[in-house]
Amino acid sequence: MIVLALNHWQENLRNRFFILALVFSGAVLYLSMLMGLLATDQEVRVLLDFGLSFIELLGLAGAVYAASTVLLREMETKTVYMVLTRPVRRSHYVLGRFAGIMLSAGAAMLIMSAAHLMILMLKGWAWTPLYLWALLGAFLKVLVTASLALFLALFSTSVLSSLTITMVLWSLGHFLPEIRLMARRYGHDSSLLMAPLNAISWVIPDLQLFNLRDRLDVPAHLAVSVPVGSWILYAAAYCAVWLTLSALLFRRKEF
Amino acid sequence: MSALSFKGVSKTYVSSHLGRKTVSRGVSDMDLEVRPGEVFGLLGLNGSGKTTTFKLALGLLSPTAGEVRVMGLEPRDPKALAAIGFLPELPYFHGFMTPAESLRFYGRLSGLAGAELEGRMAKTMERVGLSRWALRPMREFSKGMVQRVGLAQAILHDPALIILDEPVSGLDPLAIKDFRDLLQSLNGQGKTIVVSSHSISELEKLCHRVGILKEGRLARVLEQKEWSKGLEALFVDTVRPERLREGRG
Amino acid sequence: MRLLAAGLALCALLNAVLAVSRRQAPAVDEVGIRLDERGALESAALFGVGMRRLASDLGIIRMLLYYGGEEDDLPVGQDDGSHDGHEGHRHYGSFDPEHPERHYGGGRYQRLGPMAMRILDLDPSFSYAALFAAGALAFNLNRPDEALGVIDYGLKRDPKNLQYQRYAAAVGCHRRGNPEEVIRIMEPVLLDPDCPTMIKNLLAFLYYRSGKKDKAVRLYTDIYENTRDQGYRDLARRMLGRLGAG
């Protein structure tokens, strides 16, 4: 598994796409700085929010794209044959590739946040450990979403389907509090209409949980306690479900 | 004990599209024994079941009926996989990887590490003629060079059974000769080789026995002495006997 | 399909455990999820990608650009009777720079209050938006009732925020034409790192008007050296020149 994960990491390092993504992230941070100038007194807040948001988006784009394409591409080019005809368990192959994808995404997010922090400090921002929680939250979102993408890629054997469905689910995952509100508010009067929405709300991942960046700068008297431990467990469990199913699916796969 | 054995093996593919099911046969009722230390060739028209046969041997497919054994073990058994080296048709490697990096990766997957791995890598690259290009990115390689890397990853871990799917497809005559020499050298070391090819002359020169597949069935297995007058005629006779009858008629 | 069904069932179980343990993401209020008519698509898009705070940031940028620029509410060609004010943008009625507390009149920048309230819908803790808008409405645009409306809106979401209470008191004093009391109440606001430059500028001007030259010079110098708003920097430089300290 470690060999596969490190191999994916090495491939990404050498892949121009990865380097371009990092360069693009530099451009995005620059854009954040410009947005910050427009906010005058609130420049640092805007820089903080834009930066963290784009770090997450770029990490997500890389991870979801890789999860949707890597295995399918290796099956298409038959690279997978040269791996599976070695004493490598199929489940290890899937998990190792996923670990490599997350290692790459995590490294990219760390590099981008190091640059982001440097810019923030130069602008006079006062460090808070909440930044790390916010980054962790973003990474957990990427982890959960990428695990879904991987399963969908193997299930549908279509990159486009996997990417599309994953992004829809990702978006819905952020709307969960609103979906619950609507189901509660309109559920009694329009139960048939609300039924699909209600059903969806039970299965999609609650990605709002991991938006810990929304809790930066919140005054102490408004802050709600964040059960971070529980939420990390939730992310791990959610991820484990789809990775296990991906491994089972791959085990049964015929080439 | 056979290096590779098929007993009553069938493989059926079922696909469904918009509610309609399509059933197609990969191989039917195949009985095959590959003896240890021999070079066994698989010959057949496109779609005759050569690749399906290989995939069944490698555990990439599961038989619908019958039993496949590699060194007496199930194909997906890690011990069986450790004893196999496989070169797929048209192997793909990332262009920015070097042969050394690729071999290091595959070697580690085979359980090699450290000095043993590095030693095997050097020896294998020497053997396949890649030493000079060990550190060059493979985007610069010709088809023949890529094929050498493919063969290198197949033999790196010193497997007892080497399976090659169309190894000389698209190679120039000199590269073909090099490949043949290498395979003969490997066989000389006691390796069992199973090879498929559209090149009848290559199989004639290389193999001890050749199996002819026709429509998913092992129609005929020929010993070397049987094709002393030419394998081609025997092959054509097997796959299209009606042509022979027309000729006579 | 069985694997997919199993996956969905397990996810439902996870979400159920989360719900039972009350560890779900905090609920949103119905006001917060309303889509603003001017930014419905943008808000929906940002909510959909989990960027609520970013939506409030775009809101503040939009509000600052709105307030810092020429208004586009007037029909073309209509004389609005406006003139340049000490804020760097236009004000209405007859302006007397020696008596700014008497003046400003008119209903310009109509959307300032609603914009601030919308920002609070998106992020109830973003008090800067409310305090900035309330300060502008009360002290620059002479619409204290609107200012108190914004403060009230903020207080409903953040009742323990002392700044709202302070601003409400200052607006009251400003209404009664008591600049000394306004200074006394608002001076502690200067200690807040989030104190809007506009409020600093207002206090500096009140210092200047009440003859507290040293304090005025100190505050204008602070504005000149630290603000990122070029308009306020230019204004501070002019005032420092007038005070003989530039």
Whether pLDDT at C80 is above 50: no
Question: Which tens digits make up the pLDDT trace of B189-223?
Answer: 999 999 998 888 888 889 999 999 988 888 889 99
Tell me the pLDDT band of A136, cut-offs 50, 70 and 90.
very high
Residue B11 backbone dihedrals phi, psi, to 5 degrees: -140, 120
Cβ atoms of residues C208 and C216 within 8 Å = yes
What one-character DSSP code corresponds to residue C36?
Answer: P
* Residue A1 reports pLDDT greater than 90: no
pLDDT at B135 over 60: yes
Q: Does B99 touch chain A (CB under 8 A)?
A: no
What pLDDT does B238 receive? 80
Residue B178 has pLDDT above 50, yes or no: yes
- Chain B touching partners, 3 or more CB pairs below 8 A: A
CB of A139 within 8 A of CB of A106? yes
Flag whether pLDDT at B44 surpasses 70. Answer: yes
Least confident of A154-158, B21-25, B156-160, C53-57: B21-25
Residue A191 forms contact with B (CB below 8 Å): no
Chains C/A: 3 or more C-beta pairs closer than 8 A?
A: yes
Give me chain B's average pLDDT, please.
88
Chain C residues closer than 8 Å to A201 by CB: 15
Q: How far apart are CA A139 and CA A57, in angstroms?
A: 10
- In chain C, the percentage of residues whose pLDDT exceeds 70 is 76
In B22-48, which positions are buried (b, 16+ CB within 10 angstroms) versus exposed (e)? eeebbbbebebebeeebbbbbbbeeeb
Nearest to A78 among B59, B92, B153 (CB): B92
Nearest-CB residue to B110 (from A4, A87, A89)? A87
Using an 8 Å CB-CB cutoff, list chain A residues near C49: 53, 57, 170-171, 174
pLDDT of residue A190: 65
Please state, rounded to an integer, the average pLDDT across all residues of chain C: 77
Query: Are A214 and C53 in contact (CB < 8 Å)?
Result: yes
Place C31 in a pLDDT band, splitting at 50, 70 and 90: low
Q: What is the mean pLDDT of residues B2-10?
A: 92
Residue type, A161: S
The per-residue pLDDT for range C201-220, each reduced to its tens digit, is: 888 888 888 888 899 999 99
pLDDT of residue C39: 66
For residues B223 and B225, give the distance between their C-alpha atoms in angstroms, rounded to a whole number: 5
Spatial distance between the Cα atoms of C32 and C30, rounded to a whole number of angstroms: 5
Q: How far apart are the first and last CA of chain C?
A: 77
Query: What value of ipTM does the predicted structure carry?
Result: 0.84
Per residue, the 3-state secondary structure of chain B, as one string, reads CCCEEEEEEEEEEEEEECCEEEEEEEEEEEEEEECCCCEEEEEECCCCCHHHHHHHHHCCCCCCEEEEEECCECCCCHHHHHCEEEECCCCCCCCCCCHHHHHHHHHHHCCCCHHHHHHHHHHHHHHHCCHHHCCCCHHHCCHHHHHHHHHHHHHCCCCCEEEEECCCCCCCHHHHHHHHHHHHHHHHCCCEEEEECCCHHHHHHHCCEEEEEECCEEEEEEEHHHHCCCHHHHHHHHHCHHHHHHHHC
- At residue C72 the predicted structure's pLDDT band, cuts being 50, 70 and 90, is low
Indicate if the pLDDT at residue C81 is higher than 80: no
Q: Which residues of A touch C33 (CB under 8 A)?
A: 178, 181
- A62-111 pLDDT, tens digit each: 899 999 988 888 888 888 899 999 999 999 999 999 999 999 899 889 98
- Please write the tens of the pLDDT for every residue from A173-204: 888 777 777 777 766 666 677 777 778 888 88
pLDDT band at B77 (very low <50, low <70, confident <90, very high): very high
Nearest to A59 by CA among A94, A7, A15, A107: A107
More confident residue, B229 or B155: B155
Using pLDDT thresholds of 50, 70 and 90, give the confidence band for residue B248. very low
Residue B135: how many other CB atoms lie within 10 Å: 9
Residue A217 has pLDDT above 80, yes or no: no
| Cβ C186 vs Cβ C212: under 8 Å | no
Considering only CA atoms, which of B171, B158, B194, B156 is closest in space to residue B68? B194
pLDDT in tens, A142-175: 999 999 999 999 988 888 889 999 998 898 888 8
Nearest chain A Cα distance for residue B110, angstroms: 6
What is the pLDDT, as a whole number, of residue C75? 44
pTM over 0.90: no
Looking at the predicted structure, is the pLDDT value of residue C104 above 50?
no
What number of other Cβ atoms are within 10 A of residue A48's Cβ? 27
Quick check: B148 pLDDT over 80?
yes
Question: Nearest Cβ partner of A171 from C49, C125, C161?
Answer: C49
- Written as one letter, the residue type at A37 is L
Count other C-beta atoms under 10 Å from residue A177's C-beta: 21
- Give C47's contacts in chain A (Cβ within 8 Å): 174-175, 178
Nearest Cα residue to B199 out of B217, B223, B226, B172: B172
Average of per-residue pLDDT across B6-33: 85
C5 touches chain A (CB under 8 A): no
Q: How do beta strands B84-87 and B161-165 pair?
A: parallel
pLDDT computed for residue C84 by the predictor: 42
Tell if the CB–CB gap between A206 and C48 is shorter than 8 Å. no
Q: How confident is the model at residue C27 (pLDDT cuts 50, 70, 90)?
A: low
User: Is residue A22 scored above 60 in pLDDT?
Assistant: yes
Per the CB < 8 A criterion, the answer to whether B34 and B93 are in contact is no
- Report yes or no: A54 and A152 within 8 Å, Cβ to Cβ: no
Q: How far apart are CA A42 and CA A45, in angstroms?
A: 5
Contact flag A245-C7 (C-beta cutoff 8 Å): yes
What digits encode the pLDDT tens for the residues A202-211? 888 888 888 8
Q: For chain B, how big is the Rg over CA atoms in Å?
A: 19
What pLDDT shows up at residue C78?
Answer: 44
Give the pLDDT of residue C17.
80
**Nearest-Cα residue of chain A relative to residue B94:** A11
The residue type of B85 is: G
Q: In this predicted structure, what is the pLDDT of residue B73?
A: 93
Q: What are phi and psi of B163, to 5 degrees?
A: -115, 125
CA distances (Å), origin C219, targets C99, C222, C239: 20, 5, 11
pLDDT > 60? residue C98: no
So where are chain A's domains?
A: 2-252
> Which of A138-142, B224-228, C28-32, C183-187 has the largest mean confidence?
A138-142
**Least Cα separation, residue C146 to chain A (angstroms):** 23
* Per-residue pLDDT, A40: 73
Q: How confident is the model at residue C90 (pLDDT cuts 50, 70, 90)?
A: very low
pLDDT of amino acid C179:
84
Hey, are the CB atoms on C15 and A227 less than 8 Å from each other?
no
| A15 at interface of B, judged by CB pairs closer than 8 A | yes
- Residue B14 in tokens: 């079922």
- Where exactly are the structural domains of chain C? 39-69+89-186, 196-246
Q: What is the mean pLDDT of residues B76-81?
A: 92
Q: Which has more pLDDT, B16 or B100?
A: B100
pLDDT value, residue C35: 56
User: Is residue A70 within 8 Å of residue A101, measured between CB atoms?
Assistant: yes
Distances (CA, A) of A255 to A81, A246, B84, B134: 8, 16, 17, 31
Look up residue C229 and give its amino acid.
D
Which of A12, A75, A86, A90 should be substituted to probe chain B, the one whose Cβ sees the most B Cβ atoms within 10 Å?
A86
Contact by Cβ (8 Å): A109, A126: no
End-to-end CA distance of chain A: 21
Lowest mean per-residue pLDDT among A35-49, B29-43, C126-140: A35-49
In DSSP notation, C75-130 reads: PTT----EEE-TTSSEEES---TT-GGG---S--STTHHHHHHHHHHH-TT-HHHH
Over residues A42-66, the pLDDT tens digits come to: 888 888 888 898 899 889 988 999 9
Q: Model confidence at C150, in pLDDT bands (50, 70, 90)?
A: very high
Q: Which of B49-53, C67-71, C76-80, C177-181 has the lowest mean pLDDT?
A: C76-80
B98-107, C5-14, C75-84: segment of lowest average pLDDT: C75-84
